[in-house]
Chains A and B, each alone.
Chain A
Amino acid sequence: MSIIEVNNLTKYYGKARGIVNVSFNVDEGEIFGFVGPNGAGKSTTIRLLLSLIFPSGGEAKIFGKDCIKYGPELRQEIGYLPSEVFYYERMKVIDLLKYSASFYKKDCTKRMVELSELMELDLNRRIDDLSYGNKKKVGIVQGLLHQPKLILLDEPTSGLDPLMQRKFFNLIKEENKRGVTVFFSSHILGEVQKLCNRVAIIKEGSIIDIQDIEKLQKDTYKKVRILGSEVDEKRFEIEGVSKLEKNNGAVNFFFKGDINQITRIISEQRITDLTIEEPTLEEIFMHYYE
């Protein structure tokens, strides 16, 4: 079953483009990455799903129901973490979390305490005394305390230190294991790579590709790096090689095709070191960004 179905969703802010004819599906239990540079329309899409803004055209469904008409009902089961978190400054953390919990039908106290302990959140401080990273933690706890079935994350990791980022990712993974679907928007491909099953690339308001992450990395390019002062890089100018470059005695390139061709050429040469690895998503998608 599709948890999110988006059909030709379009949003214009006056004349300014938000997104144009965006369509995709997110399946149950998936961690779906949504990647694109700043201003591509990632936040617009998420805000449309939450009916914080209303579309100029097209429709979006969550759990099979129209997300405007059934908005309040659907949001019982949605957790949302915005990229920038802002809360009532004069409130204490605990009061904000309790306020947040009061909107949901179930009792959230236990989960609230668990999450706060996990994120090392001091519940008795005032929101306006918190650092940016700590506010972000409040955001994480308030977004997850009602154990939602769908989590929408809008560039969630900015402001978190690496340690907290890892904890956060583990938390998301655990939630996912319990069957929770995650929609994860980010402009950092490394994050998406670590976490997601599938990824959609959005650029200038339109989706340009939706891919399986594993497949993407396995079926496509290999990244080859050869060290050795006598290596003749011209031998590698064969079909399937791209971005060939030599600097400081190292030859780097990407290769797509039969790997034996490459090992054969390498074996002819005198080298000091060799690495062949999967390229990062960043390297695969660089051409989308350019």
Chain B
Amino acid sequence: MNIYKQEFKMHFKSMVIWSLSIACLIFVYLAIYPSFAKDAELLNRVLSSFPKEFLIAFGMTDVDLSNIVGFYGLVFLFVQICLSIQAANYGFSLVSIEETELTADFLLAKPVRRTQILTSKLLAAITCLTITNIVVWISSFVFLNTYSGGKAIETKPIILLLLSIVIFQAFFFSVGMLISLLVKRIRSVTPYSMALAFGMYVLNAFGGMIGKETLEIISPFKHFEPNYIIKHSGYNFPMAWISVSAILISVVGSYVLYSKRNIRSAV
């Protein structure tokens, strides 16, 4: 419990900043929706005249801008990118920060099992990610209702999108954690988490452009593509299982690696 509290305190500031930033992002995008809702038909036509590759790259295929839910699918892609960076940050730094800041000696010389340390850290990070998740839920519903222009909103696709966040976060968090334990030393977390998050995004975007389902099947951006979820009002199922399996493998792998890890000395 003491490690959990300490970890939570250390994540707290970053969690607040991420949560507020994502809430702002949702607010800003949804706030501009009413101003072009009137010309939605026109916009849809303009979009359909764009080259298909372009639309795929920016996640705008099958977007129906004539209702706010369709528009929200576009916004949700940006939310996903932010969430993936945040989760990857936490994953990569979870264990490695003790080693870069050389506090691992302090912690591991205490009478606790390594599995217990990892579990406490894991739970603290999950708590923070969940708080961000809740903030996304609340701000999404608040701003959707505010800017829908009085029209009823179809809630099922929205809820499906928001429910996917848990798996989405868990993917980037656990894969980040596993990679951080596979490499010898992480000097700075940001390059790693950016590479993982944008790498996965680009993989999906370009994979879609080429047209064949190849590498992008490992990307959660593919597994939980907002437009697919909205259009079909359901998940892309065989795909979503890939994310879930990756999470399970990463978590188990991390426990195994961490219990055997040699902690490098400061000097």
Binding site for B on A (CB under 8 A): 13, 43-44, 47, 50-54, 71-76, 78, 80, 82-84, 86-90, 99-100, 102-104, 142
Contacts A54-B262, A83-B267 known; A75 to B113 CB distance under 8 Å? no
Q: How far is the CA of A279 from the CA of B116 in the complex (A)?
A: 51
Chain B residues with CB under 8 A of A104: 111
Q: How far is the CA of A103 from the CA of B265 in the complex (A)?
A: 22
Chain B residues with CB under 8 A of A13: 262
Give 29 A-B contacts (CB < 8 Å), ordered by A residue. A43-B265, A43-B267, A50-B108, A52-B104, A52-B108, A52-B109, A52-B262, A54-B262, A73-B111, A75-B109, A76-B111, A80-B109, A82-B105, A82-B266, A83-B266, A86-B101, A86-B102, A86-B103, A86-B105, A86-B266, A87-B106, A88-B101, A89-B101, A90-B10, A99-B2, A100-B106, A102-B2, A104-B111, A142-B106
Q: Is there contact, CB below 8 Å, between A87 and B103?
A: yes
**Residue B28, interface by CB 8 Å:** no
Chain A residues with CB under 8 A of B232: none
Q: How far is the CA of A201 from the CA of B19 in the complex (A)?
A: 56
Within 8 A of A (CB), among B99-138: 101-106, 108-113, 116
Q: How far is the CA of A86 from the CA of B260 in the complex (A)?
A: 23
Chain B nearest CB from A139 CB (Å) reads 9
- Interface-centre pick from A52, A71, A82, A84 (highest chain B CB count, 10 A): A52
Q: Which residue of A lies closest to B108 (CB)?
A: A52
Q: Is there contact, CB below 8 Å, between A88 and B103?
A: yes
Q: How far is the CA of A104 from the CA of B111 in the complex (A)?
A: 7
Chain A residues with CB under 8 A of B101: 86, 88-89
Q: How far is the CA of A47 from the CA of B267 in the complex (A)?
A: 12
Chain A residues with CB under 8 A of B104: 52
**Residue B14, interface by CB 8 Å:** no
1/0 contact string of B242-267 vs chain A (CB within 8 Å): 00000000000000000010110111
Q: How far is the CA of A86 from the CA of B267 in the complex (A)?
A: 12
Chain B residues with CB under 8 A of A71: 113
**Residue B6, interface by CB 8 Å:** yes
Q: Is there contact, CB below 8 Å, between A99 and B111?
A: no
Q: Is there contact, CB below 8 Å, between B263 and A53?
A: yes
- Which DSSP category, helix, strand, loop or mixed, fits chain B's interface? loop
Chain B residues with CB under 8 A of A50: 108-109
Q: Is there contact, CB below 8 Å, between A84 and B108?
A: no
Q: How far is the CA of A43 from the CA of B266 in the complex (A)?
A: 10
Chain A residues with CB under 8 A of B266: 82-84, 86
How many A-B Cβ pairs are below 8 Å? 68
Q: How far is the CA of A183 from the CA of B104 in the complex (A)?
A: 21
Q: Which of A47, A76, A88 meets B265, CB within 8 Å?
A: A47
Chain B residues with CB under 8 A of A75: 109-112
Chain A nearest CB from B203 CB (Å) reads 33
Chain A residues with CB under 8 A of B108: 50-52
Q: How far is the CA of A89 from the CA of B97 in the complex (A)?
A: 12
Q: Is there contact, CB below 8 Å, between B102 and A100?
A: no
Chain B nearest CB from A91 CB (Å) reads 9
Q: How far is the CA of A44 from the CA of B262 in the complex (A)?
A: 11
Q: How far is the CA of A52 from the CA of B108 in the complex (A)?
A: 7
Contacts A43-B265, A103-B2 known; A86 to B106 CB distance under 8 Å? yes
1/0 contact string of B1-28 vs chain A (CB within 8 Å): 0100010001000000000000000000
Chain A residues with CB under 8 A of B105: 52, 80, 82, 86
Q: How far is the CA of A76 from the CA of B113 in the complex (A)?
A: 12
Chain B residues with CB under 8 A of A54: 260, 262
Contacts A82-B105, A86-B102, A87-B103 known; A103 to B110 CB distance under 8 Å? yes
Q: Is there contact, CB below 8 Å, between B103 and A72?
A: no
Chain B nearest CB from A169 CB (Å) reads 22
Q: How far is the CA of A83 from the CA of B265 in the complex (A)?
A: 10
Q: How far is the CA of A71 from the CA of B260 in the complex (A)?
A: 13
Chain B residues with CB under 8 A of A53: 262-263
1/0 contact string of B38-65 vs chain A (CB within 8 Å): 0000000000000000000000000000
Chain B residues with CB under 8 A of A73: 111
In the A-B complex, the 4 residue pairs with the closest CB atoms: A86-B102, A75-B111, A102-B2, A103-B110
Q: Which of B6, B260, B262 meets A99, CB within 8 Å?
A: B6
Chain B residues with CB under 8 A of A72: 111-113, 116
Chain B nearest CB from A95 CB (Å) reads 9
